[in-house]
Amino acid sequence: MQITDIDKTQKYEGYLWYSDKETPDVYEDKVLGEFIKTNGSFIVEGQLYDREHRKSYSIKYLGGNYLVNAFDVDDNDFNIEGIDKYYLSNKMGNRQLHFLQYWDEVKDDNCPGMKVLQPTRLVFVGFENAPKNKEGR
């Protein structure tokens, strides 16, 4: 997928961190608009989630090229126990980044004749408050 394939007319939640900025641009239910800059800066990394269409995009700039992955998120995925992962954001006002960690069965040479579960995708699904544990933290 190319970075130009991302629909800039949709509303997104997430961030784009440009090479010429100290902090990322944060999007909260906001149309992306023209996000590819022409002043020589580039997107170092980004995570965008289109809630309406349940589409997640991960953007990384590696070796002079964009690595862009798109993921479709099923509504039922939010009901899978243990799939939710929360991470405190960096330089985004203490927002919690909400991801879904997917695991798939894969062949493992160390377990002949058996498949094992391995983490395969970490998919951004917006900013959320992490559930509190029993101690209230």
pLDDT, one tens digit per residue, over 20-43 is: 999 999 999 999 888 887 688 899
Listed range (1-15, 32-46, 60-74) with the worst mean pLDDT: 32-46
Percent of the chain at pLDDT above 90?
Answer: 70
CB distance 87 to 97 below 8 Å: yes
| pLDDT for 14 | 96
pLDDT: is 97 or 133 the higher one? 97
| pLDDT for 30 | 93
| pLDDT for 135 | 43
Mean pLDDT of the chain: 90
pLDDT confidence bin for 90, thresholds 50/70/90: confident
Residues 80-104, mean pLDDT to the nearest whole number: 92
